[in-house]
A and B are shown apart, each in its own frame.
Chain A
Amino acid sequence: MAGTGKSRVISCSILAITFPAFAADLDEKLAPCLACHGGQGQSELENVPSLGAQSAPYTVIQLFMFREKMRVSDPMNEIAKGLTDADLQAMADAFAAMPPPKPPPDAGNPARLEQARALTEQNHCNTCHGPDFSGPQTVPRLAHQREDYLLKTLRDYKSGARHAYEPIMLEVLQPLDDAQFVEFAYYLAHLR
């Protein structure tokens, strides 16, 4: 249902841009973000990441790349256009202060999760992203991110559709295949 997903994104951006103008400056700038990414840091939209408790330096880098069109996404390039460096930092700090996303209600298949956990250790994902995948500094938080977004991100790095600020993920993903990406995404979304 890619078409449906896209139209929802566009409509939520338009909705956000008409948000009441009496909000404070930062709130006004955050409103279009929250309309799609979720008011409490948890996204309800397909392929749109949750940003609650996301590491601020990571978010600054992504917003910068959207602003400079080094990372391409129509709604994000539009929203980031005209933001100052100080805006990027303030918005990233605001997301970092929101509660982290919650895991899905189903606990997941224990055998599958255990196999996927071993796969993440074998590939040293936890070395940079942290043992609990809370992502220090410029390395993103992955714990309880939306499964569809995690999978999309891995595929986009591998295909080159997503520009990497540092090429470390491109290097790491070289020997891995799509079936493994599906398992990584499942594991990180369901992490307990």
Chain B
Amino acid sequence: MQGAPSTAAEAKLAPVPALPIATAVDKLPTAKLKLPEGFNIEVYAAGLTNARSLRVGDNGTVFLSTRVLDRVYAVTDKNGTKEVKTIATGLNSPNGLALNNRTLYIAEINKISKIDNVESQLDNPPKPTVIYDDLPSDAPHGWKFLTVGPDNKLYFNIGAPCNICMPSDRHAQIRRINLDGSGAEVVARGTRQIVGMDWHPAMKVLYFTENQRDWLSEDQPNDKLNRLLDPGKDHFGFPYCAGGDIPDPQFGWGHSCDEFTKPVAQLGPHSAPLGMRFYTGNMFPAPYQNAIFIARHGSWNKTHKIGGDIVVAKLNADGTVQSIEPFITGFIVDNNYIGRPADIEWLKDGSMLLSDDYNGAVYHITYGPPRQAGMGH
């Protein structure tokens, strides 16, 4: 295991994969989760094994990717009854999803593909059409996050194929391509692995979470929240500098962390921040406007687990981080996971959807008086 010390076995730490069996709806942990006063959480849909990235279509279809499975789900709502459809299978870790102008884009490890007019073809979807495949095929950190920028280009990460190593010039970067797959450019380098990106609603700048290396220590390095101010030039430090402030013990010699673009926030060691979205909806109270909600999947490379929550980063007018506060907590009980938050997305009414890949479920978070059963909505 690259980068692990000889004493690592003492810690008995290993990744915590989700089982490929979704948790039954009556066993989901919503009642054990804590939210700020006035917020409510309920199950939106269950039985979505390994549910990861979330996207919501113009007609309200909720799309969900998977990472350890080979499929993409679509959840539709018929008068309050959720129907789950598997709209693509046989894919290679299809973690990344993006929607633009009724087209669903899917990022697998080694290709980007699309389904046009996806919401009108849910019952008989065509095979996704490949638009770009000039990508490495490494499985470690090969899964992607996908987003469409204000420039109408697709942005996605290519992770480092290792815990810690010198990446090739095709790895540890963010690329962008045109919607037809042409015009590939590298816009950021030195990124170890990214599983969440979104665009500042006013500044139109890309913000992203970045997961840092394992086995450096229990309490270092911090995972990061970054922003890309200088596309094509920014280098975020991997493998030379970890967490924005720690020269790597192996690769950091001859470098200073000051050579690299600093994070806008540190998000806790091994806490695994994944999905993140800016809030621009009308339901949550005003202080949450333009704040970033971040799903911390939770640590494995740490004896006392941290993360397993949703935090809110409130920003200053210049886009720097003013504060980071807990929003949903309680996914870690007695140092074990009862769920693991993976991604966040907004419904049209401004309420939140949250995916949990450990339980294979999506939760619905609203603000205001709890809805009464039977009253309809």
Stretch at the interface among B8-16, B340-348, B361-369: B8-16
Stretch at the interface among B17-25, B94-102, B148-156: B17-25
> Closest residue of chain A to B3, judged by CB?
A124
Residues of A within 8 A of B (CB-CB), count? 33
9 closest A-B pairs by beta carbon, nearest first, are: A167-B139, A128-B14, A171-B140, A124-B1, A64-B20, A167-B140, A126-B9, A127-B8, A124-B4
Contact B140–A60 (Cβ < 8 Å): no
B2: chain A residues at CB < 8 Å are 171-172, 174-175
Which residue from B20, B21, B69, B140 sits with its C-beta under 8 Å from A168?
A: B140
Does B161 lie at the interface of the complex (its beta carbon under 8 Å from any beta carbon of A)?
Answer: yes
Does B162 lie at the interface of the complex (its beta carbon under 8 Å from any beta carbon of A)?
Answer: yes
> Closest residue of chain B to A85, judged by CB?
B21
A187 to chain B, nearest CB (A): 15
Contact B8–A166 (Cβ < 8 Å): no
Does B280 lie at the interface of the complex (its beta carbon under 8 Å from any beta carbon of A)?
Answer: no
Q: For window 26-85 of chain A, which residues contact chain B by CB distance below 8 Å?
A: 57, 60-61, 64-65, 68, 70, 85
Q: What 1/0 mask marks residues of chain B from 178 to 221 whose CB sits below 8 Å from any chain A CB?
A: 00000000000000000000000000000000000000000000
Q: What 1/0 mask marks residues of chain B from 287 to 319 whose CB sits below 8 Å from any chain A CB?
A: 000000000000000000000000000000000
Q: What 1/0 mask marks residues of chain A from 152 to 169 whose CB sits below 8 Å from any chain B CB?
A: 000000000000111110
Which residue from A61, A131, A139 sits with its C-beta under 8 Å from B19?
A: A61
A residues contacting B by CB (< 8 A) are 57, 60-61, 64-65, 68, 70, 85, 88-89, 121-124, 126-128, 130-131, 136-139, 164-168, 170-172, 174-175
Does B41 lie at the interface of the complex (its beta carbon under 8 Å from any beta carbon of A)?
Answer: no
B9: chain A residues at CB < 8 Å are 121, 124, 126-127, 131
Number of A-B contacts (CB under 8 A): 78
Q: Interface size bucket, B side?
A: 20 to 34
B residues contacting A by CB (< 8 A) are 1-2, 4, 6, 8-9, 11-17, 19-21, 68-70, 138-142, 161-163
> Closest residue of chain A to B1, judged by CB?
A124
Give the distance in Å from the alpha carbon of A165 to the alpha carbon of B1 in the complex.
Answer: 17
> Closest residue of chain B to A128, judged by CB?
B14
20 sampled A-B residue pairs with Cβ under 8 A: A61-B20, A65-B20, A68-B69, A85-B21, A123-B1, A124-B8, A127-B4, A127-B13, A128-B14, A130-B12, A138-B16, A165-B68, A167-B138, A167-B142, A170-B138, A171-B2, A171-B161, A172-B2, A174-B161, A174-B162
A175: chain B residues at CB < 8 Å are 2
A60: chain B residues at CB < 8 Å are 19-21
A121: chain B residues at CB < 8 Å are 6, 9
B13: chain A residues at CB < 8 Å are 127
A129 to chain B, nearest CB (A): 8
A126: chain B residues at CB < 8 Å are 9
Contact B139–A89 (Cβ < 8 Å): no
For A170, A171, A175, which residue has the most chain B Cβ atoms within 10 angstroms?
A: A171
Known contacts A61-B17, A68-B70; 13 additional CB pairs below 8 A are: A60-B19, A88-B21, A123-B1, A127-B8, A130-B12, A165-B68, A167-B138, A167-B142, A171-B1, A171-B161, A171-B163, A172-B1, A175-B2
